[in-house]
Amino acid sequence: MAGPALDVSQLSRRFEQRQILDHLDLRVAQGELVAIVGESGSGKSTLLNLIAGLDQPDAGSIRIDGQDLASLDDDARTRLRRAQLGFVFQSFHILPHLRIGQNIELPLVLLGIDAGERRQRVAELLDAVGLADRVGSLPRQLSGGELQRVAVARALVHRPVLVLADEPTGNLDAETAALVMRLLAAQIRGRGAAGVLVTHSAAAAALADRVLLLRQGHLHPQVPDAR
C-alpha cells in the first residue's frame, strides 16, 4: 500500500509570543480531501504555508509523498512544489497579461514539458473544468467563477501529489462556489491526488472526506452536526 500523500508530525510554529501551531499531526492519504476549518487567526494559512514549504516550522516534520521537507534547502523545496504540489488561492492569482491557456500551462513550462504535450494537457483540463472554448481568452474576459475554475485547472495540470486550496471559494457567490468546489473535489479525487482545503464555508467543507477544526494549535475532528 502506498504511503500517505501528506504526513505532518508534531508540527509547531510560533510567531512572536503566540504559539500558532502546537505539536500538530495530520495525515492525508492519496485520493483523500481534507477540509480544515477554524476561526480567523487560528493558523489555517500558516499550516498551509508550512506544508507548502513556504515557511519553516519551529519543530516537527512534514513529508510529502515520503520526502521530508526539513532535509531540503529552499531551491529543493521550490522544485518539490513545482513537481508535487498544486495551489488554488482565494484571489485566483491569474496572470492578467497571459491568455487562459498560457496561465494553465505555466507549471508545465517550469517542469520543462514540451509544447505538444502541454497543449494536450491544457486542453484536457480546460475541458474538465468546462472552459474548453476559452483557451485563447484573456483573464479580464472571464468572470470570477470562471477564473477560479482556471485556477483549479492550473493546480492540476502537472498531476501533483497534493493540492492545497486556501479559501478557494472566498470571493465567489454561493452558487458559483458550490460549482467550483464540486469541480475541485472531483478533479482531485479523479486524478488520485490528495487535497487539503482551508475554508470558512460549511458548504465547501461538506464536500471533503474529513473536516478538521484547527483550534489552539491543534487539529480536532469536526463532528458532523457542527459542520
- Report the interface residues with another protein, using CB under 8 A: 45, 49, 52, 54-55, 74-75, 78-79, 81-83, 85, 87, 89, 91-98, 102, 106-107, 109-111, 139, 144, 171
Cα 97 from chain centroid? Answer: 23
Q: Residue 164 CB, nearest distance to another protein (Å)?
A: 9
Q: How far is CA 223 from CA 13, 165, 168, 191, 227, in A?
A: 26, 22, 23, 28, 7
Assigned C-alpha cell, 110: 517550469
Minimum separation from the CB atom of position 92 to another protein (A): 7
C-alpha of 22 from chain center: 22
Question: Which residues lie across from 59 on neighbouring strands?
Answer: 12
For another protein, the closer CB: 52 or 181: 52
Q: How far is the CB of 73 from another protein (least distance, A)?
A: 11
Nearer to another protein, 31 or 144 (CB): 144
CB of residue 63 vs another protein: minimum separation in angstroms?
18
Grid cell digits, residue 81: 512544489
Q: In the 8-state DSSP scheme, what is residue 69?
A: G
Q: Which is nearer to another protein, 169 or 222 (CB)?
A: 169
Q: Which is nearer to another protein, 29 or 98 (CB)?
A: 98
Strand, coil or helix: 136:
coil
Closer by beta carbon to another protein, 18 or else 220: 18
Closest CA to 29 of 159, 218, 161, 214: 161
The cell for 18 is 503566540
Supply the minimum distance, in Å, between the C-beta of residue 82 and another protein. 2
Phi-psi group of 38: left, alpha or beta (phi > 0 → left; psi -120 to 50 → alpha; rest → beta)? left
Minimum distance from residue 74 beta carbon to another protein (Å): 7
Cβ proximity to another protein: between 11 and 92 the closer is 92
